[in-house]
Chains A and B, each alone.
Chain A
Amino acid sequence: MSLFQRREIVVVLTTAVAVAVIADYWTTLPVYGGTFMEWAVILGAFAMGLAGFSTIRYHIGHALKKTKGLWVFSVWWMIVLAITVLTGLAGLALTFKAEDNPIYIWILNNVYAPLNIAEYGLTGFFTISASYRLLRARTKSSLVFMLVALLVMLGSIAISEAIWSQLPVPGQWISSVPGAAGERGATIAMGIGSVIFALRAMTGRERGYLPE
């Protein structure tokens, strides 16, 4: 295995870049941390396509293998993808503004955007069924959880203010005092955990980020 293939060299590079970015913030040394950040922004643009290409490989695989129950949908998936990408790239080629292609804009406005919101909207349905099934006072902990959730909900609706002006107060107090306290403690703990994880990655103990 050549030197460049060794994972240890890659970890050294990762650590060097991380140290440069940290030192750039706290010192005035010429460590080129800003340059590495600029590089990462541009490399991030290339990385955007990785997930897309992984998905394309997945669907091509199913279409070619004619996987039962999947291949028809995978073919449809690739047709829609092809139409979207080709119309978008045609717009880019003509004016460098993909949005100028009317077919591309039509797909985004009438297919992508509403279905995006609809997909997130499914969680609206699940909220009420989850509330009904989950928020039950089985133990002291679940009772507290349930009461807090109900009070916070009460605190954010105008109907409770109309019933009694002080009705929303407990919920608003809970979210702004004990809720905020728990959140702040968790944030500090997660911050310390993040630093520890980063140090572990920089010392080579965590290698999950390296393509295997």
Chain B
Amino acid sequence: MAEKEKEAQDIWTRILNIDVRVFYWACLIILALPLIFPFTLPIVVTEPTRAAFNTIQSLPEGSLVLYYMECGVGGWPELMGSMVASLKHIYAKRLKFVIVNIGYSVDHKLTFDRIFSLAGHPSARGYKYGEDWAYFGFASGMETAMASLAKNFRSVYREDDFGTSIDQLPIMRNVNEAKDFKLVLCFNTAGGQSWVRAHWTVANKVPSIIAVIGAGLAQSQSDFKAGMNSGFWFSTRGAAEYEGLLKAPGISSARMSALDTMQLVTILCVIAANFAFQMSKRRKK
């Protein structure tokens, strides 16, 4: 009996000390299978996503939007869905937009090309460069640049990313500061959310919608409840909800099945680990 008990104890200890590479291979397979054999489940739209959708939906045609890409390539998996969906929404509402990149990432051109390859180039939607949209590229300075941009746009950008002087762009006529914009869309991986909140929304009362990565949920919820953002998209899930509202399923909706499965497996693993831990403790007693 003591031998059998010793053997059972070893089993629980062995379960608790599984080689981590088992998890890594399991992770790979569990993420791959739903991609190869996809399934779709309906997603319930949460309040922040609906608020973000309604904010853009309520803008009159021709309103100027600041499309602020703070993220780089590392943010594509979580934020590309909302970037593409929001651009499609902008096209549908015939809003004007100005793209800027200010932050830690310098690979803005790759993101710029990728968004348009997925959402469609503005020219294909009847947008004229310089009149309906403009691209200003990367500016250094991070928070300083965002604060300067809110105070005086031309102090940060004197020309667009293609070398054209800002004064030659009709869209930027009479656009000098934050108050000239009707909305800021911020695609944030690092500090962009707090810079927009402080220097655009709180200081200049410009509404903002934030697309956040996984770790930004608590902060965004707190800001949403305090009225410091007009809605947010939480990582791939928020983007999938938004795509559902727009009735334009995209990359985020396609990936939710794999993500859901992986998170469910994680939950089951944690439950199993705790069960084994409790059994192991009982055996030791």
Give me the interface of A with B, judged by CB distance under 8 Å.
25, 34, 37-38, 40-42, 44-45, 47-48, 96-97, 99, 108-109, 112-113, 116-117, 119-121, 124-125, 127-129, 131-133, 135-138, 146, 149-150, 152-154, 156-162, 165, 168, 172, 175-176, 179-184, 187
User: What is the bound-complex CA distance between A112 and B123, given in angstroms?
Assistant: 29
Q: Verify A96–B74 contact, CB threshold 8 A.
A: no
Residue numbers in A under 8 Å from B221 (CB-CB): 175-176, 179-180, 183
Q: Which B residues are CB-close (under 8 A) to A179?
A: 217-218, 221
Q: What are 22 of the A-B contact pairs (CB < 8 Å)?
A: A37-B144, A37-B155, A38-B148, A38-B156, A41-B144, A41-B156, A42-B140, A44-B145, A116-B107, A125-B24, A128-B26, A128-B269, A135-B273, A146-B270, A158-B44, A158-B260, A159-B41, A161-B44, A176-B225, A180-B221, A180-B222, A181-B222
| Contact assessment for B23 and A41 in the assembled complex, using a CB-CB cutoff below 8 Å | no
Q: Residue A158 contacts which of B41, B142, B219, B274 (CB distance < 8 angstroms)?
A: B41
Main SS of chain B's interface residues? Answer: helix
CB-based contact B145/A182 at 8 Å: no
Q: Which among A48, A113, A160 has the highest number of chain B CB atoms within 10 Å? A: A113
Task: Please measure, in the bound complex, the distance between the C-alpha atom of A42 and the C-alpha atom of B144, giving whole angstroms.
Answer: 10
**A37:B151 contact, CB within 8 angstroms:** yes
Residue pair B23, A128 in contact (C-beta under 8 Å): yes
Whether B76 sits at the interface, judged by CB under 8 Å, is: yes
Bound complex: CA A211 to CA B24 (Å): 43
Chain B: which residue is nearest A99 at the CB level?
Answer: B109
B36 at interface, CB cutoff 8 A: no
Given A116-B72, A146-B274; 4 other pairs, CB 8 A cutoff: A113-B73, A133-B273, A159-B41, A181-B222
Chain B, residues 253-280, CB within 8 Å of chain A (1/0): the string is 0001001111111110111011001100
Known A-B contacts A161-B43, A182-B218; the reply to A125 vs B23 at CB < 8 A is yes
Partner of A125, one of B27, B42, B234: B27
Are the C-beta atoms of B147 and A37 separated by less than 8 Å? yes
Contacts of B145 in A (CB 8 A): 41, 44
Residues of A within 8 A of B266 (CB): 127-128, 131, 153
Cα distance A176–B110 in the bound complex, in angstroms: 34
Contact B155 A34 (CB under 8 A): yes
Question: What residues of A have a CB within 8 angstroms of the CB of B142 in the complex?
Answer: 44
Measured CB to CB, the residues of B under 8 A from A are 18, 20, 23-24, 26-27, 31, 41-44, 46, 72-74, 76-77, 106-107, 109-110, 139-142, 144-145, 147-148, 151-152, 155-156, 162-163, 203, 217-219, 221-222, 225-226, 234, 237, 256, 259-267, 269-271, 273-274, 277-278
Write out the residue numbers on chain A whose beta carbons fall within 8 Å of the beta carbon of B141: 40-42, 44-45
Known A120-B74, A127-B266, A175-B218: A38·B107 in contact at CB below 8 Å: no
Contact A187–B222 (Cβ < 8 Å): yes
In the complex, which residues of chain B have a beta carbon less than 8 angstroms from the beta carbon of A168?
44
Tell me whether A34 and B270 are in contact in the complex, defined as CB-CB below 8 angstroms, given that A157-B260, A183-B221 are known contacts. Answer: no
Residue contact A38 to B155, C-beta cutoff 8 Å:
yes
Of all chain B residues, which has the CB nearest A33?
A: B151
In angstroms, how far is the closest chain A Cβ from the Cβ of B49? 12
How long is the Cα–Cα vector from A140 to B224 in the complex, in angstroms?
A: 31
How far is it, in angstroms, between the C-alpha of A200 and the C-alpha of B107 when the chains are bound? 36
Query: What residues on A are CB-neighbors of B273 within 8 Å?
Result: 132-133, 135-136
Q: With a CB–CB cut-off of 8 A, which chain B residues contact A120? A: 74, 77
B120 to chain A, nearest CB (A): 20
Q: Across the interface, name the chain B residue whose C-beta is closest to A176.
A: B221
Which interface residue of A34, A117, A120, A161 has the most chain B CB atoms within 10 A? Answer: A120
Q: Contact check: which of A113, A127, A137 meets B277 at CB < 8 Å?
A: A137
Kindly provide the distance from the CB of B101 to the nearest chain A CB, expressed in whole angstroms: 13
Considering the complex, give the chain A residue whose CB is closest to the CB of B241: A158
B78 to A, closest residue via Cβ:
A120
* A78 smallest CB distance to B (angstroms): 20
Judging by beta carbons under 8 Å apart, are B274 and A136 in contact? yes
In the assembled complex, which residues on chain B have CB atoms less than 8 Å from the CB atom of A162? 41-42
Contacts of A182 in B (CB 8 A): 218
Identify which of B18, B42, B140 contacts A41 (C-beta below 8 A): B140
Complex interface: chain B residues within 8 A of A119 (CB): 74
Residue of B with least CB distance to A138: B277
| A26–B153 alpha-carbon span in the complex (Å) | 19
Determine whether the beta carbon of A180 is less than 8 Å from that of B218: yes
Candidate in A41, A108, A121, A124 with the most chain B CB atoms within 10 angstroms: A41
Question: A178: nearest residue on chain B (CB-CB)?
Answer: B218
